[in-house]
Amino acid sequence: MTRIDAKFAELSKAGKKAFVSYIMAGDPDFDTSLEIVRGLPGAGVDIIELGLPFTDPMADGPTIQLAGQRALEGGMTLQRTLALARAFRETDNTTPIVLMGYYNPIYSRGVDAFLAEAKEAGIDGLIVVDLPPEEDSELCIPAQAAGLNFIRLATPTTDNKRLPRVLQNTSGFVYYVSITGITGAAEAQAGDVAPEVARIQSASGLPVIVGFGVNTPEKSRAIAEVADGVVVGSAIVSKIAAGESVADTLAFVKSLSDGAHSV
């Protein structure tokens, strides 16, 4: 059982929904980023989604793109991202970390080397948005063999014909993208999300976490009411981009997690 599996078992037993926060590793700099990540569990975060900076983040809107640029300009790399996770693990051995990014840096490093290093650094799962199920032999299957969950995205355009293929080797949870488009582009609507979540839950048997378009405590609560949990990314990254203090950023995260946990 991975930390992700254990976390969902714990939440289910307590009758709680999951709150997942996305942070770009190295934004605005390594030390501040690490301080924020270390503060996330205390702010009510159940699972940390750690962004791997990349030069061509095709699924992300301007907010996450700019965060990646800031991190890259500050010298952030795949190796330093794993170093950040390793530093977090010095004081927290229970909160799951999902590394979210794109395949190019992993491919450049070499899959076997990357998986060994990620496992050693305390990474629990991967979301690699530009590797479709047809390429599962590239990374998904080796990752699962290494003990990492491979988390797949489903979207409003993932129809019943496509869904079984998407779910085939997915583990940990399914990340449902609530809108058609990029991160931060529109607001998620609970009424639209609810039937899709039910459809995916029925097909997969896995928890379904909803992200993209969740930006307030009220929206966090509304989405958590119809899903197994909620992800917030751009709204948190916007606070970091605005230069807000670590304390203020974490207070905002706490307001969002309180929304999700109030269901």
Backbone angles phi, psi at 20, to 5 degrees: -115, 130
CA 253, distance to chain mean position in Å, is: 14
Q: How many Å apart are CA 150 and CA 62, to the nearest integer?
A: 26
Q: Are 24 and 171 in contact (CB under 8 A)?
A: no
Structure tokens at 78: 């795949």
Where in the sequence numbering do the catalytic residues fall? 49, 60
Q: What is the dihedral of CA 82, 45, 257, 173, to 10 degrees?
A: 80
Q: How many Å apart are CA 165 and CA 132, to the nearest integer?
A: 9
